[in-house]
């Protein structure tokens, strides 16, 4: 299974009672697939995995997997701090029909690289489906060393890494060190999609594609066709959204923007607050720029 293209790091739609909104989830899934995404990645950072119970994760994953109905691969986040807990959730997601799992490094505690290798090996042995490593050091306090990734890439069902370090050198090192393995490197930083593709990344797992799906997909498609100038232009246009995203805690701004563009994904889960009125005004100006 090659992991490639623009894969949406999908939001988790909630209703006014902060419960999972099944109707809006299906609506968002279909919008993304109809706009040409190559996959859907749920229960990541923008999917608020850290604020959901395991039961909620399972019921949300079931809605998404059933609605996608094999049209594109569904990557499901099952990461956590306890190896045992990750295995338990991973087995349940495999049974639900997930195409692959995404496993973030443990966070809060800072394990050594050898502990991380053991963590991932044990998880990989517990399931048959593929695993995508997820590196986001600014949130977890740990960066996966290239040597660690090289070691993990040798494991048959560890097939890719999403790198959200924001560091192009990190991505370049992962690509270089795993070139002899059947392994994909994806940018998890939306500002680096094109630059990562140019050095050998196979795609990106992009949260901005919840809103500006066509634009993100066009970066990849134009790059494949050799229209680098067109891809550069599309990459630059993402910045209008990214500038506004910095005005609130993840994923409050993105949720509000998607909400205002017509899919009621609801607010972020508390303690993340809704954007204030002056920020909502800036969100509206941004949406106007994209004609959304």
DSSP state of 70: T
- Which are the catalytic amino acids? 134, 162
The answer to whether residue 44 scores a pLDDT higher than 90 is yes
Residue 4 has pLDDT above 90, yes or no: yes
Indicate the domain borders of the chain: 5-231
Position 137 pLDDT exceeds 90: yes
What's the pLDDT at 79? Answer: 97
Distance CA 178, CA 50 (A): 30
Average pLDDT over residues 191-220: 98
Does the pLDDT value for residue 30 go beyond 90? yes
pLDDT of 2 over the 90 cut: no
User: Which CATH code fits 5-231?
Assistant: 3.20.20.70
Q: Provide φ and ψ at 232, rounded to 5°.
A: -60, -40
With contact defined as beta carbons under 8 Å apart, do 12 and 36 qualify?
A: no
Q: What is the pLDDT of residues 243-292, one digit of tens each?
A: 999 999 999 999 999 999 999 999 999 999 999 999 999 999 999 999 99
| Pair 249, 273: CB distance under 8 Å | yes
Mean pLDDT of the region 150-167: 98
pLDDT tens digits along 50-102: 999 999 999 999 999 999 999 999 999 999 999 999 999 999 999 999 999 99
Tell me the H-state helices in 212-276: 213-225, 228-245, 252-260
Provide the CB-side half-sphere exposure for 246 (13 A, CA). 5
Confidence band for 212, pLDDT divided at 50, 70 and 90: very high
How far apart CA 171 and CA 121 sit, in angstroms, is: 22
pLDDT band at residue 148 under the 50/70/90 scheme: very high
pLDDT (0 to 100) of residue 1:
82
């Amino acid at each position: 299974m090659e992991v490639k293209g623009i894969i949406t790091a999908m939001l988790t739609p909630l209703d006014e009672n902060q419960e999972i909104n099944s109707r809006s989830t299906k609506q968002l899934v279909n919008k993304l697939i109809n706009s040409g995404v190559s996959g859907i990645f749920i229960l990541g950072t923008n999917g608020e995995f850290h604020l959901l119970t395991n039961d909620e994760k399972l019921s949300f994953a079931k809605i998404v997997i059933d609605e996608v109905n094999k049209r594109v691969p569904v990557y499901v986040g099952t990461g956590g701090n306890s190896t045992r807990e990750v295995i338990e959730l991973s087995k349940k997601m495999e049974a639900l029909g997930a195409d692959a799992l995404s496993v973030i490094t443990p966070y809060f505690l800072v394990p050594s690289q050898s502990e991380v290798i053991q963590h991932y090996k044990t998880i990989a042995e517990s399931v048959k489906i593929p695993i995508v490593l997820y590196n986001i050091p600014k949130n977890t306090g740990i960066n996966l060393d290239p040597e660690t990734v090289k070691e993990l890439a040798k494991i048959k069902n560890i097939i890719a890494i999403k790198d959200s370090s924001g560091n192009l050198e990190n991505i370049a090192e992962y690509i270089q060190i795993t070139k002899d393995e059947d392994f994909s490197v994806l940018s998890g930083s939306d500002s680096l999609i094109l630059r990562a593709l140019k050095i050998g990344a196979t795609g990106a797992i992009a949260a901005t594609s919840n809103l500006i799906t066509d634009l993100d997909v066009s970066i990849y498609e134009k790059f494949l066709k050799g229209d680098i100038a067109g891809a550069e232009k599309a990459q630059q246009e993402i910045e209008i959204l990214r500038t506004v995203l910095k005005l609130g805690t993840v994923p409050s701004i993105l949720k509000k923007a998607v909400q205002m563009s017509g899919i009621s994904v609801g607010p972020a889960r508390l303690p993340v607050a809704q954007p204030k009125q002056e920020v909502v005004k800036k969100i509206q100006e941004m949406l106007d720029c994209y004609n959304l």
